[in-house]
Structure 1
């Protein structure tokens, strides 16, 4: 399964496998297109295809095996969650250039496997990878039978599929990073429910007003959101102000108090998730910054979701 992957780093990290599965595995996966399932038809200007969630039709043993292999290939801490989608494209359909960046709670790695026998160049349906939405394709993968491409999703993972002239069949496997799960997404939404910046302590008002007059709105919104997180966790006005200034880039959190330091960094990360998307490099920096620090009680629910212990997560 997924033997001899060819790794590439441009235009973004991805790998390519010429023969993804065994003949027996391919035959079983092909049957998914023959099932009388409920297909969702996407017919927008930019994204035209039909999708069907076939996860429950994939044996648990197969899911476990492919998850373990994807962990090996990517080196990422992928949780015990796999969602599998069958995709059909009919003549005239196309998928425009997009990045599928991993929003809060979204998958971080995708494996795309083709099931198109006797494909010819004139059939179209080529998966193209780009470094920008305006540029030319920098890598192309023909949708030939049993070929696979796996790639990390982030804000610059631009890809698209050329127009097809013959039906195109694809199975897509989706995998989640341990620090960007649907459970974390629910936790973030609950923390910031009924968001209201009137919760600021009065000592923050002049600082926030000055920042709003000189900084971009998205920066001050994220800083305000971090301050709300600290307030709702029960921290004092000084820590809330420190958190706002840290998230706005007005100053660096240099408090000697370990709990305040951890709280400010976690609040900044939660605000980033709420406003933007999951960024693997940014998460790696957070993990490094908080390594070896005690997990304080009032931060524990958030900490465990943002920085889970991998060995414990595997046992769950």
Structure 2
């Protein structure tokens, strides 16, 4: 009888644990991800080989169930974030994922542009239209457009940038209508949408979409990046270094395993990213010898609001000391900073 009671209790507990594991809290948990070699990800047509490795680093992130939340609350270098700190207001799962993939795509284009400029190779942009990132609730676009749609014309007119699109629509009045030509899953559609004032800004008229430029960089030689579902802009610096390394005859890795992170802008400036501590751990786990960290400047205003706020480089250096790694942490402000440092390395 006792055995049956024990089995019944164990079964009930198992069912409860399985059921509660599918109940998600309004939080996200992040933890160290991986360090991925860029050779299989970046392919420059007839590009040069390297003797070492350049690696991008990632953070694992997911919605928190009760067990993930409890584990993260006691583990070092696992962080818990309220949902509102990760997502924009009213943003769905699909919209969030599209935004991350769009950030990655922009990051790739900036990386290609920076590398090609430095290598004196030709490139240009083809503007494809306006990419719909998200839809504002209760606005006119909600019934017509979907995240991921590409608007290619308004009232039969094409534009050369999303700003031209915004300016044109912004000159309209509430209750005016526009004809939108858009592409969804390779099919073209035309729909008429009545404009409306935004609920929280009555002097602002629009469709009710979050948007960005949908453009394509064209290069010679051709560059292909296989990023699959890697999202966000934080791999920009490492992409630019890998592309540049394949464009030039000299190998900038000199036989070293070099990891890093940081956004990249069109002018080569390297920007701050999230999860720097976790990325240092990921790089160390994969045997990186050097870690390139954004050396962002903290303003006086930021220091007043957040006294414990520190730069990516400072946080990375503290983490490296804490985990006892021999990996060198190098502060980087620009693409040229990274190249200048790599040029000082002695070839293995």
Q: TM-score with structure 2 length normalisation?
A: 0.22
The structure with the greater share of residues assigned to helix is: 1
